[in-house]
C-alpha cells in the first residue's frame, strides 16, 4: 500500500491530475481493502484492552473511507479534488505510521 501512496504523492507533486486520479483510485482501493481485513481481526482483538487507541484508528479509517468516496466523484473541480486527495494521502500515511509504530507491536504483546 505504501508504494501506491508514494505513487499518489509523486503524481500530486507533479501536477499530473489524470495520473493522480488513477493513482488515488488504486491507493484508495488498496487502503479500503486493508481496513476491511484489519478491523475484524486486529481491532477486534485489541479493542477490549485498548478501546481509545482502536477508536482513534477507526476514526482514521472512517475519514479515509469518506475521502475516498468523495474522490471517486469525477465531477469534482480539479482544485477541490486535489485538496481532498492530499488529505486522503496524509491520513492514509499517518494511519500506516501509527499502525506500524503501535498497533502491530501491541497486537504481538497480546498473543
pLDDT (tens digit, 9 = 90+) per residue, 23-78? 999 999 999 999 999 999 888 888 998 899 999 999 999 999 999 999 998 788 88
Higher pLDDT, 19 or 110: 19
Cα 76 versus chain centre, distance: 20
Angstrom CA distances, 56 to 16, 22, 30, 47, 78, stand at 33, 29, 20, 11, 30
Q: What is the pLDDT of residue 92?
A: 95
Q: State the pTM of this model.
A: 0.89
Tally Cβ neighbours within 10 Å of residue 78: 11
Amino acid at each position: 500500500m505504501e508504494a501506491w501512496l508514494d505513487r499518489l504523492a509523486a503524481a500530486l507533486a507533479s501536477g499530473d491530475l489524470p495520473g493522480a486520479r488513477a493513482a488515488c483510485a488504486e491507493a484508495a482501493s488498496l487502503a479500503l481493502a486493508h481496513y476491511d481485513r484489519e478491523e475484524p481481526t486486529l481491532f477486534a482483538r485489541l479493542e477490549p484492552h485498548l478501546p481509545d487507541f482502536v477508536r482513534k484508528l477507526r476514526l482514521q479509517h472512517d475519514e479515509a473511507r469518506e475521502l475516498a468516496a468523495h474522490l471517486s466523484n469525477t465531477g469534482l473541480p480539479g482544485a477541490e479534488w486535489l485538496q481532498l486527495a492530499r488529505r486522503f494521502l496524509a491520513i492514509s500515511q499517518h494511519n500506516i505510521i501509527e499502525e506500524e509504530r503501535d498497533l502491530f507491536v501491541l497486537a504481538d504483546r497480546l498473543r
